[in-house]
Amino acid sequence: MGVKMTQDELKKMVGLAALPFIKPGMKIGLGTGSTVKHLVDGLGKRMREEGLQVTCVTTSSITTRQANELGIPLVGLDDVDHLDLTIDGADQVDENFNGIKGGGGSMLWEKIVNTASDQNIWIVDESKLTERIGSFGVPVEIVPYGASHVFRRLEQKGLKPTWRLAKDSDQLYRTDENNVIIDVHPGPIDDVNALDQELINMVGVVEHGLFIQRINDIIIGREQGPETIHVKD
Ligand SMILES: O=C(CO)[C@H](O)[C@H](O)COP(=O)(O)O
């Protein structure tokens, strides 16, 4: 029996498996996270070694930093009228390919870039798959002004909110838009559309990490190799 692959090896497998979807001349959205990091490394290599030319937009300052280090040329989202393809990771994905994103805190820009993109692909290792999403907390991005009032309303709704803190700190985490994040912990969600509406309609909420019917394809990293599933045209 072979040695079991680590989660990072599965992440690398799907990061690299997504590379052939990127064609010369495309306008590409680059997601955020440790899985996408492998994709961006691979893209940098293709650009250096094959002279591949694409135009890229990022979904976070973290990915911007990595792209800059690799010499991948970037433009702003407002510099393009649309994107051809966006490749991103996810924290949890259910049987209908709805997901939770924002473990890395970038779901606002990620959702904006996803919306601007003709095609969206998620790359995930198989541990992210679940029957119903929600055991991974749903990140909710809040305007800092009056955020404690939003926190109390989420508490009253029974959504078990917790403040997102900056790494190794007791300070609140700040997003690329300088907002704060409250993670809610609903447990496995019965009705994702109802929670989506409940959260987005709360005053003070900018965006949340529920991504419903937002992908065209998904590449799943499995021990036996990457599995690509076409979700919708
Ligand atoms: O939504 C995200 C960042 O906001 C990431 O895509 C998500 O957290 C998955 O990250 P990773 O690839 O590190 O597991």
Summarize pLDDT for 57-83 with one digit per residue, the tens: 999 999 999 999 999 999 999 999 999
Quick check: 2 pLDDT over 90?
Answer: no
Contacts of 57 (CB under 8 A, 6+ apart): 27, 28, 29, 30, 74, 75, 76, 77, 80, 83, 113
Lay out the sheet containing 205-208: strands in order across: 162-163, 180-184, 138-142, 205-208
Distance CA(109)–CA(28), nearest Å, equals 14
Annotated binding site for substrate: 32-35, 88-91, 101-104, 128
Confidence of residue 149 (pLDDT cuts 50, 70, 90): very high
Q: How far apart are CA 72 and CA 82, in angstroms?
A: 19
ipTM metric: 0.98
Question: Ligand 1 center to residue 212 CA distance, Å?
Answer: 16
Tokens of 12: 């690398």
What residues act catalytically?
A: 110
DSSP state of 74: B
> How do residues 82-128 score in pLDDT, each as one tens digit?
999 999 999 999 999 999 999 999 999 999 999 999 999 999 999 99
Domains of the chain with bracketed CATH? 7-129+212-230 (3.40.50.1360), 138-209 (3.30.70.260)
The verdict on the CB of residue 221 being under 6 Å from ligand 1 is: no
* Sequence ranges of the binding site: 32-35, 88-91, 101-104, 128
The finding on whether 32 has its CB within 6 A of some atom of ligand 1 is yes
* pLDDT at site 1: 56
Instruction: Please state, rounded to an integer, the average pLDDT across all residues of the chain.
Output: 98
Residue nearest to atom 12 of ligand 1 (CA): 35
Is this prediction's pTM over 0.80? yes
State which ligand 1 atom lies nearest to the alpha carbon of 105.
Answer: 4
